[in-house]
Amino acid sequence: MTLTETQITKTIDARGMACPGPLMTLIGAIRAGAVGDTFAVLSSDAGSKTDIPAWTTKAKHELIEVRSGDGYSTFIVRKAH
């Protein structure tokens, strides 16, 4: 499934937001969301490229896609359980 085909439940524009930051905000959204909800996180923080996939794997959610360009990355994550 690609970015354009995925139904996004909520987009989190965390570009330039150092604190609490993109991953923390994603964790909050996943905690509050329902199983199957899909979140798009926009991050300009270089650390997100390792942090977001690492947490998604550890917490057993699904990282559907990562797209980079224009000075930021977009992470599509689905709440799996």
Partner 1 sequence: MDARIVILGGGVGGTLAANILVGRLGHAATVTVVDPTGMHAYQPGFLYVALGQANGRWLGRDERTLLDKKVDLVIEIAERIDPVARTVRFASGGSIAYDYLILATGSRTVPEQVPGFIGAGQEFYSLTGALRLREELRRFKGGRILIGVTGIPYKCPPAPVEFTLMLEDQLRRRGLRDRSEVTLLSPLNRAFTVEAASKLVQPIMEKRGIKLSTFFNVDAVDPTRGIVSSIEGEEAAYDLLVLVPPHRGQTVIDASGLGDAGGWVPTDRNTLQHKQYERIYTIGDATDLPISKSGSTAHFQASIVASRIASLVKGQAPSATYEGRVMCFLETGDRRATTLRFDYAHPPVPPRPAVIWHAAKWMFNRMYWHTIPQGRVP
42 is catalytic: no
- Establish how many alpha carbons lie within 13 A of residue 71's alpha carbon, considering only the half-sphere containing its beta carbon: 3
23 contributes a contact to partner 1 by CB under 8 A: yes
Question: Which position has the token pair 């997100």?
Answer: 48
40 contributes a contact to partner 1 by CB under 8 A: no
Which whole-number Å values give the CA distances from 75 to 50, 67, in the listed order?
A: 11, 7
76 contributes a contact to partner 1 by CB under 8 A: no
Q: Return the structure tokens found at 60.
A: 């057993």
71 contributes a contact to partner 1 by CB under 8 A: no
When computed from its CA atoms, the radius of gyration of the chain, rounded to whole angstroms, is: 11
For partner 1, the binding residue among 1, 3, 8, 28 (CB under 8 A) is: 28
Contact residues toward partner 1 (CB under 8 A) are 10, 12-25, 27-28, 31-33, 45, 47, 51, 54-55, 58-60
